[in-house]
Structure 1
Amino acid sequence: MSKTARLYKIEALIRQRGHVSFAQLIDTLEVSPATLKRDLEYLRDQLGAPIEYDRYLNGYRFADAGVPVAANDGSASERRHELPGLWFSERELHALLMAQQLLSSLDDEGLIGRHLQPLLSRIEELLGPGGQSDARQLMKRVKIVGALRRPVPSECFQRAGEALTRRRRLHIRYLTRTRGNDVSEREVSPQRLVHYRNTWYMDAWCHSRDRLLRFALDAVQQASVLTTRAKDVAMKQVEAEMDAGYGIYAGATTRQAVLRFSAQAAPWISREEWHPQQQGRELPDGGWELSLPYTDETELVMDILRHGEQVQVVSPAALKQTVLKRLKAATAVYA
C-alpha cells in the first residue's frame, strides 16, 4: 500500500470507528511501528489533521470530533477535517464502483473504461487489502443489460468529446437516415453529449443550417477537430429547443398529447416519467390519463404502440390517426 493510500486509510479508520489503537492500525495497514509513527506525524504536522492519542480510550481520535461550528445558513454543523484531494467514505466508494460499472456499460469499445481505470485503482487502494477483494466481488454483482444498443466508434466519440471540451468546431461526414441515407459534410459546434436509450447523440450548432441540430454519433462516418473556435450557445437555449418535446426528436412546434391508459396499466404508468413537463391524473374507472408535450410524433407513436390495447390516444386527432394507421398496417401483415 502506498503512503498516500495509508494516510487516507488512517483517517478513514478513525472516522468510522471513533478511535483506533496503535496495534489495530499496524494490523490493518500491515506496516512497521516506525512507519506508522512517521505517518501519524506527517498527518498532524504536514496536513494539519487533529489526531490525538486518548489514554482513556487507548487509541487515536480526532480532537475536533463532534465540535459544532456555525454553517452559512446559521445552523450548527459538525466540524470535519478532510485530507486534500480525493475523499470519500466507504459507502461512497462502493457507490463510485457501481457508477464506474454504469459508465463502462455505456462504452462499447472500452474508451471510457480505460480512462476510468486509474480512478478504479485509486478506489481499491483506499478500500485497503480487504476492500480490494470486496470491490472486485461488487463489480461481478452489478450487471447492466443494454438492449438494442447502437455502438459508437471510439475514435468518433473521442473527437466529439475533445471538440466539446476544447470548444472547437468539428467537421463531420454524416449519414442522414430520414433522407434516404443521404451523406453530407457538416461543420458543427458541439454543445453537449446526450446518452439516450443505449446510444449517444450530440447537440450541436450546424453552421450549414445555421441552427441547433441533434446528431446520432453512430451515424457519424468521419470526424475531425478543427482549430476554429466553436460557436457558444447558451445552455438555456439548448435545453429549450432540444428538450421541449418527447424523446430524442427536437423541433420548433410543440403539441400536447393526451393518452388514456387502462386500470391494469395505471399502477405502472402513473410512476413512469415520459417527459419532465408531463401531467397525469387518475380516472374514475381506475385508469390513468397522461398529458405530455411532443414535437415529432415518430418516437411517441412507437411507445404508444408498445402498450397495445392498454392505451388509447385521446388527442390530438392527427396523432390518433397515425396510431390507427399503424395498427391497421400491422394487422394487415397477419391477415
Structure 2
Amino acid sequence: MAQTDRHYKIRQWLDSGRCVSREWLMRELEVSASTLKRDIALLRDRLNTPVEWDCERRGWRLQRRPAGPDGQYELPGLWFSAEEIHALLTMQHLLSNLDAGGFLGPHIEPLRKRLSQLLGTGAPPRSDVARRIRVQTVGARRIDLPGFQAIGTALLRRQRLQIGYRSRTSAETSEREVSPQRLVHYRDNWYLDAWCHQREALRHFSVDAVQQVRVLDRAAIDVPEDELDAVLGAGYGIFAGRDVTWARLRFSAERARWVAAERWHADQRGRFDAEGRWLLDLPYADPRELVMDVLRHAPEVEVLWPQELADEVLARLKAAVALMEAG
C-alpha cells in the first residue's frame, strides 16, 4: 500500500472518533512498527494532523481541543497527487481573481495554505512555493462579481435568468430570458452557455458583457449535453454553429516544432509532410477566431483551403498594412 493511501486510511479512522491501537494499525495497513511510527510522525509534524497517543486506551486518537481559531485542523480527507495539486492551484487562481479585491480569497485561504504545505514537503526551509508556481492570465476581462454569483446560483439551482446583454458587435443592449446550462472558462474569460428563450436557440454569452442579471422564480429548461456540444462545441473556439467547414493550415518546418504540440480543436487532425511542415485540419463554424489565430503565426502559416478563409486572412493582412502605412 502506498504511503499516501496509508495516510488517508489512518486519517479516516481517526476522523471517525476511534482510538486505534498500534497492533491493529500494523495489521490493517500491513506495515512494520517502524513504518507506522514514520507515518504517524509525518501526519503529526508535516501534515498538521493533531494525532496523539492515549496512554489509558493504548491507542492513537485525535486531540479533542481545537488547533486554531476556527476550530479546524485542516480540510478533512484532503490528499492530492501532483496533478490534483496543480489543478487546485489553478482553480484557486481563477476564483481569487474574479474581482480585484479577492472576494473569495478568505474562504479558500485554508486550502491554499494546505496546498503550499503539501507542495513544500521535502523542500528547503523558507522556500516560497508561491514564487515557484505561477499561473498567468492574458487578456482576462473584468467581470461583475455579484452578477457572476447570481449566474452561478441560477445555474446550480436550475432557475432562469433575466439578463441585460451588451453585444460587442452592435454595441446594443438587449433584454434576454435564458436558461443557464453551463459556465465555461475559455482563454482566461468566462462564458455562459444558455438557452435563449427570445431566440429559441442555444447561445454563448460573455459573462463580462452581462450588465444586469436577475434570478427568476421559474425553472430552467435542461438541454442534453450532446446537443450542447453539437451546437456550441462543434465550431472553432467560442463561436457556435452546427454547420461547420473544414480548413487546412500549413505551418513552416520551423513553426511546426511548436504548433504540432498544440491542441487547437478537439477534433483536429495533423501530420508532417515530406518537408517537415505541419498540416493541420480543423473545423470551424464562424471564421473570426480562427482568422485571429492564423494571423498570430503569419508569415509562417498558409491557408490551403477553403479559399474563403484564405481570402479573409489576406484581407486582414492588407488592411493592417494599409493602416500602418497611413500612420
What range is the shorter-chain TM-score in?
0.7 to 0.9
Q: 156-165 or 138-147, which moves further after superposition?
A: 138-147
Q: 103-112 or 24-33, which moves further after superposition?
A: 24-33
Counterpart of 1:19 (choices 26, 31, 36) is 36
Partner Cα separation in structure 1 for residue 179 and residue 188 of structure 2:
23
Q: How many residues align?
A: 288
CA distance change for structure 1 residues 27 and 211 in 2, over 3 Å: closer, same or farther? closer
Equivalent residue, structure 2, for 1:148: 139
Matches within 5 A, 1:122-141: 137-141=128-132
CA distance change for structure 1 residues 7 and 147 in 2, over 3 Å: closer, same or farther? same
On the 8 A contact 1:258/1:292 being kept in 2, the answer is: yes
Partner Cα separation in structure 2 for residue 112 and residue 278 of structure 1:
37
- How big is the alpha-carbon RMSD for the aligned residues of Structure 1 and Structure 2? 3.9
Counterpart of 1:117 (choices 100, 109, 116) is 109
The answer to whether the aligner puts 1:190 opposite 2:180 as a matched pair is yes
Equivalent residue, structure 1, for 2:66: none
* 1:169 shift after superposition: 0.3
Equivalent residue, structure 2, for 1:107: 98
Matches within 5 A, 1:212-291: 212-291=202-281
Give structure 2 stretches of 5+ with no counterpart: 1-10, 63-74
CA-to-aligned-CA distance 1:63-99 (integer Å, 9 cap, x gap)? xxxxxxxxxxxxxxxxxxxxx9524158578546634
Matches within 5 A, 1:30-45: 40=59, 42=61
Equivalent residue, structure 2, for 1:166: 157
* 1:139 shift after superposition: 2.9
CA-to-aligned-CA distance 1:159-193 (integer Å, 9 cap, x gap)? 110000000001101001112x1101111000000
Partner Cα separation in structure 2 for residue 22 and residue 278 of structure 1:
47
Partner Cα separation in structure 2 for residue 32 and residue 243 of structure 1:
50
On the 8 A contact 1:168/1:228 being kept in 2, the answer is: yes
CA distance change for structure 1 residues 106 and 26 in 2, over 3 Å: closer, same or farther? closer
| SS of structure 2 residue aligned to 1:264 | helix
Partner Cα separation in structure 2 for residue 111 and residue 329 of structure 1:
43
Partner Cα separation in structure 2 for residue 86 and residue 334 of structure 1:
59
The runs of 4+ residues in structure 1 deviating greater than 4 Å are 4-8, 13-17, 21-27, 29-39, 89-97, 121-124, 133-136
TM-score, normalised via structure 2 length: 0.75
On the 8 A contact 1:105/1:144 being kept in 2, the answer is: no
* 1:24 shift after superposition: 5.1
* 1:253 shift after superposition: 1.5
Give structure 1 stretches of 5+ with no counterpart: 44-83
* 1:149 shift after superposition: 1.3
Partner Cα separation in structure 1 for residue 139 and residue 93 of structure 2:
17
CA distance change for structure 1 residues 87 and 114 in 2, over 3 Å: closer, same or farther? closer
CA distance change for structure 1 residues 20 and 171 in 2, over 3 Å: closer, same or farther? same
Equivalent residue, structure 2, for 1:98: 89
| SS of structure 1 residue aligned to 2:294 | helix
Query: What letter corresponds to residue 146 of structure 1 in structure 2?
Result: T
* 1:239 shift after superposition: 1.1
Query: What letter corresponds to residue 154 of structure 2 in structure 1?
Result: A
On the 8 A contact 1:94/1:135 being kept in 2, the answer is: no
